[in-house]
Structure 1
């Protein structure tokens, strides 16, 4: 197997996130956003970009005592049939309540990760005055996010806890 960077599969430079870590990092995001809203420091609502933004948005909303929570569903990947997921043009599958959103002023839009920035770019076109926050950010997508906690390299594949299952793995040698 090749050890050069160009010969690696996306998961070979992996960053595994536990439930505890996503919780800690999402709380850190909330603390960074606290008091930064346009209405005397308050935010009007939280909108999670589904599906990855739902857990961080729930934690941010709880920490900042924001009761209005909605979602926007954006699809920018599809199964590649034997190859890694393939990127395609982002499209909105479900929009948040238009009466709450307006132009986005006072709205926190939360996602787990900004990768290429295409998803946030699309959502920013819809809500130009919203504040975009992610827990993790890759360099290509950083220009699309206003606040994030941890930067990771573009070639790192992040394994989130909701994408992994706990399962028994046989020992390399011997039996249990």
Structure 2
């Protein structure tokens, strides 16, 4: 007996990194439909809660525009304690973020949300711990001048030149890039979209 056809998969993200990560494990969404929304944290909102809330809000925002589809969304947050380091507005803020991360550990949390065609939601929250070496002023200036920080939570891209700063990483590397692949695959298997 033939398997039932799979529902289309819609990625609710404007991030080319998430598309690339999915392609690494053989997943190509049928459509990409970014959820345009305010990603500002609420007053006193913790990094974990922000990642969880935004991923779910993104998936739910796109679901009505994709009837009959599975909608996958994610949001990645860089945090040090209660402090959230978002996407730097400019080079000066990117510089401040790198100086703040220099020589210390931080957490990278990604919320992943899936809305099924019948409106049910499933979520995962994945956290990795990253520690940067102590950065010199020259390293910070050179990195900021390269522009790799643009559009990146925390002001760096671990899949790029800043990987040379990472002296310690505990947890999922793909999570730090922007989508934890193991947990995403588990979500898709759980709803029968990915075969075991």
Same topology, TM > 0.5: no
TM-score, structure 1 length as denominator? 0.32
TM-score (structure 2 length as normaliser): 0.29
Higher normalized strand content (fraction of residues): 1
